[in-house]
Chains A and B, each alone.
Chain A
Amino acid sequence: MVRLLRGYAFTIAGIAIGVAGIVALGAMAERLVRFIEGGDRFVLGQISVAGSGMGMGAGFTAGGLLPAASVRAIAAVPGVSGVQAQVMLPLNPSTSQFMTLTQELVLGIDLTVATPNRYYPRLPVGQGRALRPGDRRVALVGSAFATSRDLRVGDRLPLEGEPYEVVGVLERTLTAPDRFVVVAIEDAREQWIAKDRLLRTVLASGAAALNAADLNTGAAVGWRDGEDPDAVARRIAERVAGVNVQLPSELSRLLRSSTAFLSALLVGIGMLAFVIGGLSLANTVAAAVFERIRDFGVKRALGATDLQLGGEVLAEALAVTLAGGAAGVALAMGLGAAVDGWVARTGQQLFLFSGRLLGGALVFAALLGAAAAAYATLRVVRLSPAEAIRRGA
C-alpha cells in the first residue's frame, strides 16, 4: 500500500491541494456560521427590552433609558419568569468601532437576579470564576478580548480610569461574548456616567428625577415554560409604557439579514471551492486511472474481469483520494493554524475546522474520487486489452 501511495504521490498532492482549498474556505464559512448561529441562539433565548427612544445604541439593547419602575412593571406581566436589568456600553465609543460585528462591549448585569436567557443561563467560564452577587470592580472577560490584551485571571484591567481585577475568562464561543467585558451593573452604570457627558450634565442639573437604579440600557426578560416568547414580548409592549420590545423571532431575522451578505458571499465562495476543488480532484483521479491504462490492459490479459478490475480501481482510487483528502485537511488546518496564530494577536479567529466540515470534505472527496474512478474505469474496460496495452505503451 505504501508503494502504491508513493506511486501516486503527484495524484495525492493534486487531490490534497483541491481538498485543502475546499476545507480552508469551508472553515471560514463555518467560522461565520458559528458567529451568526451563536448570536441567533442568544437572542432567541430571551426577550430584549430597552427604554423607548434613542440611547447609547450599544448592541441589541439599543434604546433609551429603562428605569427601575419599568423593570418592575415588566416583571409583573403575565408569562414573564424573570427580568435582569442590564447596561450595555461600547468599550470604545469611537465611530470606527460603533455597531460593528467585532465591537467590544461592556455588559453590566444585575447579579442579584438569575440571568433569564434560556440558552445561556450562565456564560461558559474557561478560567477563573463567574461573577457573584456583591462583586465590585471585578471583570469577567471574553476569550478574544483577553487574548488581544494578553489578560489572565488576576490581571488588572483599567476601565474608565478605574482598575478592575480579571476574575475569569470566558470559553471561546466564536460569537459576541468573546469580546465582552462583563461587570456588575453598578460598575457599568459608573462607567456609563463617566463616558457620557450629556448624561452627567442631566444628572447634575437635577432636571430628571433619576437615581442609580434607573440607569439601565435594557433588560433581559425570560418567559415561563409553555409560553410563546413572541406573545409574551407583545404583551410587554402592550402593558408597559415607554419600552422598546424586541420580538425574539424578529431580532433573529434582523440579525440574519444583517449578516446575509457575508453568508451569501461565503456560500458562493464555498460553492466555487467545491466546484473548482471537485473538478480538480475528479480530473486528477481520472487522469491517474488513464495513466495506468497499460497496467489495466495487462491485468485483463491475465484474466481480470470487469468487476475485478473495477473493484481494484475503486479501492485504489478510494485509498488515493482518502490519502489526498487527509493530506488536504492537514494542509488546510496547518495553514489555518498559521493564519489564526497571526491574527490571534488581535483576538481574531478566521477559521473553524468543525467535525462536520472535515468529515464532509473527506466524504465529498471519497465520493467524487470514486465517481471519477468509476467513470474512468468504464472508459478503460470498454477498450480491448490489446488496445489498452497499445495506448498505454
Chain B
Amino acid sequence: MLEARGLVKTYAAPAGAPIRALDHVDLSVAAGRLAVVLGPSGSGKSTLLNVLGLLEDADAGELVVGGERMSGLGRSARSRVRGRYVGFVFQSFMLLPSLSALDNVLLAGRYVGRRGPETRSRARELLGQFGVLEREHHFPAQLSGGEQQRVAFCRAVLNDPPLVLADEPTGNLDDANGRVILEALRARARAGAAVVVVSHRADAALGADAVYRMRQGRFEPGPQLPGGGTP
C-alpha cells in the first residue's frame, strides 16, 4: 500500500547548518499491517508522517501510494490522493472549531464528493461506535480531549481510507482514552488498512506488525519491540 524509498527532507535553520529531518528513510507498509515508528521529539517522526501523507514534499526519494507514484504530482492531484487514500489522526485533534462534531466528521466526505444521507448515516454510526453520538451537535470546545480525538478518528476513517496515518494519537489523552484510540487503529489494520503510527510512547507499539526506532532522521538498526518487524 505504501512504499517509501530514500526519503530526504531538510529544513533551513534560522542559524547554522540546515536540519536534516529525514535522512534516506525507507519504509514499506502493506495493506492490513500496522507499523509503529518510535522516537524522541525532534527525531523526524512527524516529518516522516507528513511526507508519507503528502502534507509536505520530500527533497529526494520515491513515494508510492496505492501503486501510484507521487513524485511530479501537482497540488490538486496530491489533494485528491489524500482525500481518496489517506486518513489522518493528529496529536492535537485538528477539529474545526466552527463545526459540530458531526460536521467535522462529514468534512472528510465533502472533498471526495460524499455528501449524501448514506455518508451522514455512516458518520453517525462511527460516532456511535466511539461513544460520542450524543455529542454529535457539540462543538469541539464543548468536548473533552478524549471525545475530540474520538471524533477526529471518526473523521479519519469516514471514507474507509486504505492508509491511516496517526501522529502521536495518544499524546494529549489519558491512558483510558489512549487505549481506545490505539485499539481503534489496530482494528483499522485488521480491517485491511495500512496503518502507520508515530509516537514517543513505547506502549503505542503493542500489537504492531512492524516497529521502527527513529533518531536524527534515520531508522535505527537493533532489537525490535514486541510485534516484530525490521527496518
A308–B111 touching, CB < 8 Å:
yes
Given A305-B76, A307-B76, 18 other A-B residues pairs in contact with their CB atoms under 8 A: A295-B96, A299-B107, A299-B111, A300-B79, A300-B82, A301-B53, A301-B55, A302-B107, A302-B110, A303-B83, A303-B111, A305-B75, A305-B79, A308-B79, A308-B111, A384-B50, A384-B55, A389-B90
Instruction: Please name all residues of chain A whose beta carbon is closer than 8 Å to the beta carbon of B144 when the two chains form the complex.
Output: none
Instruction: Please name all residues of chain B whose beta carbon is closer than 8 Å to the beta carbon of A4 when the two chains form the complex.
Output: 98
B76–A386 touching, CB < 8 Å:
no
Q: Is A179 an interface residue (CB 8 A)?
A: no
Q: Is A7 an interface residue (CB 8 A)?
A: yes
Number of interface residues of B (CB under 8 A): 25
A291 to chain B, nearest CB (A): 11
From residue 67 to 98 of chain B, which have CB atoms closer than 8 A to chain A?
75-76, 79-80, 82-84, 88, 90, 92, 94, 96-98
B75–A302 touching, CB < 8 Å:
no
Q: Is A304 an interface residue (CB 8 A)?
A: yes
Instruction: Please name all residues of chain A whose beta carbon is closer than 8 Å to the beta carbon of B155 when the two chains form the complex.
Output: 302
Number of interface residues of A (CB under 8 A): 23
Instruction: Please name all residues of chain B whose beta carbon is closer than 8 Å to the beta carbon of A298 when the two chains form the complex.
Output: 94, 96
Q: Is A385 an interface residue (CB 8 A)?
A: yes
B83–A381 touching, CB < 8 Å:
no
Across the interface, name the chain A residue whose C-beta is closest to B92. Answer: A393
Across the interface, name the chain B residue whose C-beta is closest to A7. Answer: B98
Main DSSP-derived SS at the A contact region: helix
Given known A298-B94, A393-B92, contact A305–B80 (CB-CB < 8 A): yes
A3–B98 touching, CB < 8 Å:
yes
Q: Is A189 an interface residue (CB 8 A)?
A: no
Give Cα A299 to B112, complex, Å. 12
Across the interface, name the chain A residue whose C-beta is closest to B152. Answer: A298
In this complex, which of A295, A299, A306, A386 has the most chain B Cβ atoms within 10 angstroms of its Cβ?
Answer: A386
Q: Is B132 an interface residue (CB 8 A)?
A: no
Instruction: Please name all residues of chain A whose beta carbon is closer than 8 Å to the beta carbon of B75 when the two chains form the complex.
Output: 305-306, 381
Give Cα A377 to B82, complex, Å. 20
B82–A303 touching, CB < 8 Å:
yes
A387–B107 touching, CB < 8 Å:
no
Q: Is B57 an interface residue (CB 8 A)?
A: yes
Instruction: Please name all residues of chain A whose beta carbon is closer than 8 Å to the beta carbon of B110 when the two chains form the complex.
Output: 302, 304
> Can you give 24 contacting A-B residue pairs, CB < 8 Å?
A7-B97, A7-B98, A295-B98, A298-B96, A299-B107, A301-B82, A301-B94, A302-B83, A302-B107, A302-B110, A302-B111, A302-B155, A303-B80, A303-B84, A303-B112, A304-B83, A305-B80, A305-B111, A306-B76, A384-B55, A384-B56, A385-B55, A385-B56, A386-B50
Give Cα A376 to B169, complex, Å. 31
Contact with B along A281-318 (1 / 0, CB 8 A): 00000000000001100111111111110000000000
Contact with A along B127-151 (1 / 0, CB 8 A): 0000000000000000000000000
From residue 225 to 265 of chain A, which have CB atoms closer than 8 A to chain B?
none
Instruction: Please name all residues of chain B whose beta carbon is closer than 8 Å to the beta carbon of A307 when the two chains form the complex.
Output: 76
From residue 35 to 74 of chain B, which have CB atoms closer than 8 A to chain A?
50, 53, 55-57
